Structure 1
Amino acid sequence: MIKIIMHGCNGHMGQVISEIVKNDESSTIVAGIDLNTERKNDYPVFQSFSECDIDADVIIDFASAKATDSLLDFCLQKSIPVVLCTTGLSNQQIERIEKESKKVAILKSANMSLGINTLLKLLQDAAKVFVPAGYDVEIIEKHHNQKIDAPSGTALALADSINEVFDNEYVYKYDRTLEREKRDKKEIGMSVVRGGTIVGEHEVIFAGTDEVIEIKHTAYSKAVFGKGAVEAAKFLAGKAPGLYNMSDVIK
């Protein structure tokens, strides 16, 4: 039985994961960390890591970037691996994550969906065929009107996956209204939509002469991210220090 600490347990994703784990025979949440301790859970909830004295095999983090440093401090102190799902991290935080992963296992992913992470691999195969043949690459992402970062971490991950095939020689174009000029062949365009309660939609377009290939992923509920996070936690528990991602889970 994998023992989990849920960081951000009383947020929307924290509650989604709590319900998933409740019906999972191989894992259990033994404690939660959240500034809001009023919501009742099947496990004790602490306002900070400094108050938590419960042992666990792994931490799932769906909190705020503001709390990432204290999370890492706790993981290092207790030698507990962490599935890091929080987005919007600063460059300094990303550098620290890479540094601390040499001491404790950290799994970091911009998107926890098993579907999206399988798509990352499929896109590389597609890019090897279409890009050398002269096809342009465009990414359109859509999210709810409360999402702060744009483009999404997932959109950037999709672009990075394609760019990796070509030694990162492509540049990302976020706003073509700033430059009235012809499209450069060495660019990946990204368009952002924010509205309503769209959970998450990502579409990658390979546009060639007289032919367009569209590869699309749509999340209809945040449960897809929760399921992926739980699978990642099972994978990471007991792992040696290192920086992991969802591609390791899929393997």
Structure 2
Amino acid sequence: MRTDQQPIRLALFAPEGRMGQAIAAAVATNPSFVMHSDHADVLVDFSSPDGLRASIDRAVSAGIPLLVGTTGLGEGHQSLIADAAEIIPVLKAPNTSLGVALLENLAERAARVLDANEWDVEIVEAHHRLKADAPSGTALHLGQAVERGRDMDAKEELGRSGVGLAREPGSIGYAAVRGGTVAGDHDVLFLGPDERIILSHRAENRAIFARGALAGARFLVGRPAGLYTMKDVIGAE
């Protein structure tokens, strides 16, 4: 068992992936962490939806926390995560950037204040050409933050619209752009009568996600079983 003076041991479920490599590089410059595939304190999974069951089985079997950064998850995957969270601490983070976590909090607070009948919401995101899912998991997560602020049912389809469609009052629209090597851009636009509020975040490289993943891993160590988000990591109300 590790002591507080020892570095946190991380295992990567997909070390060969882009995020796996970015996290390994971040660990190499941070003495508070060390890579250890066999006896880890936290398992980190940025692989793919198909790999989620295997990463959950590995974490549950080892009795260690799991950080899930995989996007494009369906309802079945969410059920797997919820079941695992009854046994181990699980941090579900479609985006591990601390800045995006704050953006989510700001979007929820803005939605709580602005009248949904007068303020439309558009969420626009851009990523590199190889990203498979659209809208991004982060964009959908931001939409859920708006829904929470408006006290909407997260499963209510009436409140969501696709790109290029006419908007119903209170709808949330999504637009996705793919191209180049964009690490990740997200804008939450609140469009009201005669004025606009735009909340934005720009990721310049994957290092920010790697640093956020390390913050998430540090948060998970010693936590009881349960489902956590980056909102818990930054201590947002």
Q: TM > 0.5 between the two?
A: yes
Match of 1:226 in 2: 210
Residue 12 (structure 2) pairs with residue 24 (structure 1)? no
Amino acid in the other structure paired with 1:226: A
- Whether contact under 8 Å (1:82, 1:107) holds in the other structure is yes
The match for 1:171 is: 159
Q: Quick one: percent identity of the two aligned structures?
A: 37
Q: Aligned to 2:136, which of 145, 152, 157?
A: 152
Rounded Cα–Cα distance in structure 1 between residues aligned with 2:108 and 2:181: 30
Of residues 10, 15, 22, the one that matches 1:9 is 15
Aligned residue number for residue 67 of structure 1? 51
- Contact kept? 1:57, 1:238, Cα under 8 Å: no
How many residues matched? 225
SS at match of 1:205: strand
Aligned to 2:100: 116
Which among 203, 219, 230 is matched to residue 246 of structure 1?
230
User: In the alignment, is residue 194 of structure 1 matched against residue 178 of structure 2?
Assistant: yes
Query: What is the Cα deviation at residue 202 of structure 1?
Result: 0.7
Offset, 1:156: 0.6
2: CA distance, partners of 1:123 / 1:101: 26
- Give the Cα–Cα distance (whole angstroms) in 2 for the partners of residues 218 and 167 of structure 1: 28
Q: Quick check: 112-121 or 54-63, which moved more?
A: 54-63
Distance 1:183 1:66, change over 3 A: closer
SS in structure 2 at match of 1:25: coil
Q: Do 2:46 and 2:69's aligned partners in 1 also have CA atoms closer than 8 Å?
A: yes
Return the letter of the residue paired with 2:13: H
Cα distance, 1:81 vs. partner?
0.7
Helix, strand or coil at the partner of 1:192: strand
- 1:108-143 CA-to-partner distances (Å, cap 9, x unmatched) read 011100000011111122222323571211111111
Residue of structure 1 equivalent to 2:62: 78
Q: Helix, strand or coil: the match of 1:213?
A: strand
Contact in 1 for aligned 2:123/2:139 (Cα 8 Å):
yes
Counterparts of 2:113 and 2:89 in 1: how far apart (Å)?
35
Aligned residues of 2:116 and 2:169 also touching (Cα < 8 A): no
Query: How far apart, CA to CA, are the structure 1 residues paired with 2:168 and 2:186?
Result: 22
**Structure 1 residue aligned with 2:77, among 51, 69, 93?**
93
Extract unaligned runs of 5+ from structure 1: 32-53
Task: Single out whichever of 82-91 and 110-119 deviates more from structure 2.
Answer: 82-91
Matched to 2:31, the amino acid is E
2:192 aligned with 1:208, yes or no?
A: yes
Rg larger in structure: 1
Take 2:210 and 2:182, find their aligned partners in 1: how far apart are those partners? Answer: 17
Report the Cα distance in structure 1 between the residues aligned to 2:151 and 2:90, rounded to whole angstroms.
25
For 1:149 and 1:140, the matched residues in 2 are separated by: 14
The 3-state SS of whatever aligns with 2:36 is strand
The alpha-carbon deviation at position 238 of structure 1 amounts to 2.1
**1:128 aligned residue:** 112
**Distance in 2 between the 1:133 and 1:75 partners?**
45
Question: Take 1:62 and 1:130, find their aligned partners in 2: how far apart are those partners?
Answer: 35
Q: Distance in 2 between matches of 1:156 and 1:104?
A: 25
Gaps of 5+ in 2: 1-6
Other-structure match for 1:48: none
What SS does the aligned partner of 1:94 have?
A: helix
- Which letter maps to 1:30? H
